[in-house]
Amino acid sequence: MPFNPTEQFQNTVRQSMNPIINEYFRDTEGENLKSSRGALKISCLHRENDSLCLTQARMDWFRDIRGYGIESWVLGADREFAANERPDLINLKVDNHPKITIKFAQDLESTPEGKQPVRMSLSFRIMDKVIDSSKGGDDFTPLDAEHLAKKIKSAFATPKYTHSKGKELWLYKDNDNGYDFRILSLNKGESEKLIKTTLAIRNIPYQQELLRLSDYVNKKSVSTTNSTTRIYGETRQDPRYRPVANVRFRWALAYVGLNRQVCLCDTTGFFRDALEVA
């Protein structure tokens, strides 16, 4: 039988990649479509009858799952990881306190064709704990992380919390407790509900007088007119300004001084080491 380079390539990929994929998903038994990680595993494993296009897609998909794609969005934008490049971004008053980041995203099914899902982040500091106790204060320990993970799962993941993101920018600042929220919402009630839910995780009382509506509104940008710009040889639609969409809780991360953030709670299956899953 004549040598077929395509078949040889796919056989080599299958033989070398499938053991790595099985090891990565070793916490799942067999091939179970009913679990999120089981479904991810099945979508990654290479099959004998895969087309060359599907082989490449599985390789790219597994790379994204392991963190070279989607997790770069999770980790890359956080200022701790840019500290060496941009020391001006560090707030010395809070940089030694653990930072909790809660991520939301629009469902793919409700995302308009040709658009990216709307995303949102909410973060706060734990001011009664420290990352480096040599500077004084109480350590943030794995036990603290586990307790916080359970609280976040209860508040945001069971069921998935949904926030109606809109064009109103609501501000809530409580420096003593580590909160400095800037929340885009449809209305005041949506912002209040999200703030109260977040504060309840740590039993911090809500203070009505700290909530205010930002008076900055870019009327031109808020317009619903679909403007375009010619970029890279094509006419392209300009980015949406403060798009309106329902965004759901996806995961929560804790920056505790390590090179990689600790995933407290995950609803997507992307984080194999999440302390809590839903």
Statement: residue 77 has pLDDT above 70 = no
177 band by pLDDT with thresholds 50, 70 and 90: very high
Beta bridge partners of 162: 248
Q: Is the pLDDT of residue 122 over 80?
A: yes
Residues in the chain: 278
Instruction: Give percent of the chain above pLDDT 70.
Output: 86
Lowest-confidence pick of 44-48, 133-137, 178-182: 133-137
Average pLDDT rounded to a whole number, residues 235-241: 77
Distance between start and end Cα atoms, the chain: 50
User: In the predicted model, is pLDDT for residue 216 greater than 90?
Assistant: no
Average pLDDT on 187-199 reads 97
Which distant-in-sequence residues (6+ apart) come within 8 Å of 70 by Cβ? 64, 270
pLDDT band at 67 (very low <50, low <70, confident <90, very high): low
Q: Residues 37, 43: contact at Cβ < 8 Å? A: no
Q: What is the pTM of this model?
A: 0.70
Amino acid occupying residue 223: S
132/1: higher pLDDT: 132
How do residues 100-119 score in pLDDT, each as one tens digit?
999 999 987 788 877 778 89
Q: What is the mean pLDDT of the chain?
A: 83
Question: For residues 277 and 37, what is the distance between their CA atoms, to the nearest angstrom?
Answer: 10
User: Across residues 36-45, what is the average pLDDT?
Assistant: 87
The whole-number pLDDT of residue 215 equals 80
- What is the per-residue pLDDT for 1? 66
For residue 16, pLDDT beyond 50 = yes
- Round the CA-based radius of gyration of the chain to a whole number and report it: 22
pLDDT in tens, 135-169: 788 899 999 999 999 999 999 999 999 999 999 99
- What pLDDT, on the 0 to 100 scale, is given for residue 91? 53
For residue 123, the cross-strand partners are 101
Q: pLDDT band at residue 270, thresholds of 50, 70 and 90?
A: confident
Q: Which of 127, 128, 105, 122 minimizes the C-alpha distance to 181?
A: 122
Mean pLDDT, rounded, for 38-45: 89
CA atoms of 170 and 182, how far apart (whole Å):
6
Q: Among candidates 257, 260, 251, 271, which has minimal Cα distance to 140?
A: 257
